[in-house]
């Protein structure tokens, strides 16, 4: 096999594109393809201020890197989740990486605000990832608005999007089918949310990071082992191996044919939370209710210990 552009030895073969590329041609293809996805979905322009949610993993660090390389006004946002040593190590990776890019870094320390994910998990019947997703989405939106960013970008890749779609289709979660798109427009109380890597596989973002010397955290969050998404990703990879191109087709055809059918039916009734003002499905938003529980626990803890 040879690089399709220059004939040199390839570093990757991407069966879904029937494309083999050498190091240099892969790097420039990756950047062009990112730009093309941004334009295809009207995600943002060079005038927009983009806040990239970064975790220390390959996808989010590569996203901040490539957006800045393409000349976008992108900065980083990190939430310290308080998940033991994993969070400490991810914070170190994030801080040292962002320093090199010249981007600004906003850090929100959840442990000082409400408590880390392990503590919050104990207060609800939700799984760790569900609580984590809730507080992350809340803070992404709040912090972006407070700091004057009109776009929030996350590093979700094709494997993330296709596996989430797969599990939601298996459960016929119709609400999901009207809500997931690589760009969710700005609306009352929400900044625009975008996923510029939605068409790249995990393998492609990992290779882009490695070839650029991005020092990302390889270790997974300890809670990810319980996440169903890992299982769905494995199943999709097995299908992909037998029928190359299925993963990308499954996702793109959903965007083209299924999302438009369900979008109209998705009618969220939201109101500003009475406590924090963020959009909420109830009078007090789920995050403020959780915070209230934390405060109650602290005050009863204090009174019982005297």
Listed ranges 63-71, 126-134, 163-171, 182-190: which one lies at the site for ligand Q46 (CB under 6 A): 126-134
d(CA 156, CA 144): 18
Q: Where does this chain touch ligand Q46 (CB under 6 A) — which range of 36-44, 218-226, 237-245, 268-276?
A: 218-226
Query: Residues 106-125: x/- map of binding to ligand Q46 (CB under 6 A)?
Result: -----------x--------
Select from 133, 245, 260, 277 the one that contacts ligand Q46 (CB under 6 A).
133
Q: Is 276 in the site for Zn ion (CB under 5 A)?
A: yes
User: Which has the closest alpha carbon to 240: 201, 271, 210, 291?
Assistant: 201
The radius of gyration computed from the CA coordinates of the chain, to the nearest angstrom, equals: 20
**In the 3-class helix/strand/coil scheme, how is 139-184 assigned residue by residue?**
HHHHHHHHCCCCEEECCCCHHHHHHHHHHHHHCCCHHHHCCCCCEE
Q: Are 80 and 87 in contact (CB under 8 A)?
A: yes
Pick out residues in 72-101 that bind ligand Q46 (CB under 6 A). Answer: 81
135 touches ligand Q46 (CB under 6 A): no
For residue 216, the minimal CB distance to ligand Q46 (Å) is 14
Establish if 61 lies at the interface with ligand Q46 (CB under 6 A).
no
Q: Assign residue 240 a region (left: φ > 0; alpha: ψ between -120 and 50; beta: otherwise).
A: alpha
- Collapsing DSSP to helix, strand or coil, 227 comes out as coil
Residue of 79, 129, 144, 162 interacting with ligand Q46 (CB under 6 A): 129
DSSP state of 71: T
The residue within the footprint of ligand Q46, chosen from 223, 250, 251, 254 (CB under 6 A), is 223
Three-point CA angle 179, 170, 243, nearest 5° = 100
Ranges assigned E (strand) in 84-135? 105-109
| Cβ at position 293, least distance to Zn ion in Å | 13
Contact call for residue 128 and ligand Q46 (CB under 6 A): yes
Q: What x/- string results for residues 160 through 199 when contact with ligand Q46 is judged by CB under 6 A?
A: ----------------------------------------
Q: What is the DSSP letter of 114?
A: T
Measured from the CB atom, is 132 or 135 closer to Zn ion?
A: 135
Q: Of 94 and 129, which has the nearer Cβ to ligand Q46? A: 129
Classify residue 7 as left (phi > 0), alpha (psi -120 to 50) or beta.
Answer: left
By the criterion CB under 6 A, which residues form the site for ligand Q46?
Answer: 81, 117, 128-129, 132-133, 221, 223-224, 227
By the criterion CB under 5 A, which residues form the site for Zn ion?
Answer: 273, 275-276, 285, 288
């Amino acid at each position: 096999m040879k690089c399709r552009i220059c004939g040199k030895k390839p570093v990757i073969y991407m069966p879904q594109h029937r494309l083999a590329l050498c190091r240099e041609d892969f790097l420039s293809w990756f950047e062009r393809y990112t730009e093309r996805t941004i334009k295809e979905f009207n995600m943002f322009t060079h005038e927009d201020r983009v806040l990239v949610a970064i975790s220390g993993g390959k996808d989010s660090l590569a996203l901040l890197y490539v957006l800045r390389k393409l000349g976008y006004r992108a900065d980083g946002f990190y939430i310290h989740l308080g998940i033991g040593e994993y969070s400490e190590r991810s914070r170190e990776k994030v801080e040292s990486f962002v320093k090199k890019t010249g981007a600004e870094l906003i850090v929100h320390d959840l442990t000082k605000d409400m408590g880390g994910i392990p503590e919050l998990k104990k207060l609800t019947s939700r799984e760790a990832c569900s609580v984590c997703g809730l507080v992350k989405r809340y803070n992404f939106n709040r912090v972006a608005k407070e700091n004057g960013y009109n776009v929030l970008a996350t590093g979700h890749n094709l494997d993330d999007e296709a596996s989430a779609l797969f599990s939601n289709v298996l459960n016929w979660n119709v609400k999901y089918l009207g809500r997931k798109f690589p760009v969710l427009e700005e609306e009352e109380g929400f900044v625009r949310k975008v996923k510029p890597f939605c068409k790249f596989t995990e393998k492609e973002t990992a290779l882009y990071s490695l070839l650029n010397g991005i020092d990302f955290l390889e270790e997974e969050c300890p809670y990810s082992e319980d996440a169903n998404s890992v299982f769905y990703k494995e199943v999709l990879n097995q299908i992909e191996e037998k029928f190359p191109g299925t993963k990308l087709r499954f996702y793109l055809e959903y965007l083209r044919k299924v999302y438009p059918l369900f979008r109209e039916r998705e009618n969220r009734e939201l109101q500003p939370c009475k406590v924090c003002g963020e959009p909420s499905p109830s009078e007090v938003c789920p995050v403020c209710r959780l915070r209230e529980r934390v405060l109650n626990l602290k005050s009863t803890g204090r009174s019982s210990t005297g």
